[in-house]
Structure 1
Amino acid sequence: VNSNRIRWYRVIMRFFLQCHRDLYRYQLTAQEVRDTVRATFDTEYTLEQCQNDLAALKEWGNVTTIYDSSRATSIASFLSPALLYQA
């Protein structure tokens, strides 16, 4: 990976690994990833940056996405479900 965002990618992938090993969690939301990066590395990390980083990791085959319809509270939210990311 030849990118200026490599440090952020490493923090994100370490978080996926930690959740998988320690918590047996395989799927994470972008908000959970953002909160972890903010707490451990970059306090000004935004949700938009997080979504862009996750999209890049998906493009490279490091993470996959699935739709989370389990948290739907209305028809509108069911028709446009949030994404879950899995490494």
Structure 2
Amino acid sequence: MNIGDAARASGVSAKMIRYYEQTDLIPPADRTASGYRDYSDKDVHVLRFIRRSRDLGFSVAEITELLALWQDRSRQSADVKTLARAH
């Protein structure tokens, strides 16, 4: 899906999606043959996670840490709990 569709599906504006890519919060999107960004359902899921985290008041740095913990299958649940309680 293109950036507009991803923005609508995730609740994150296209401008913020570009910002998150520029700051390496999310990896750069795949590109179509014509150069347009192409987002997957997984990308939209991550964007929704970021949106919910921002709504809860987490900073971009904290979200970076949350995403790393979320993607690390070997992490302890206590690691996430510690970060959330500190917030």
Q: Which has the higher helix share?
A: 2
Choose between structure 1 and 2: higher strand proportion: 1
Give me the TM-score of the superposition, normalised by structure 1: 0.30
- TM-score relative to the length of structure 2: 0.30
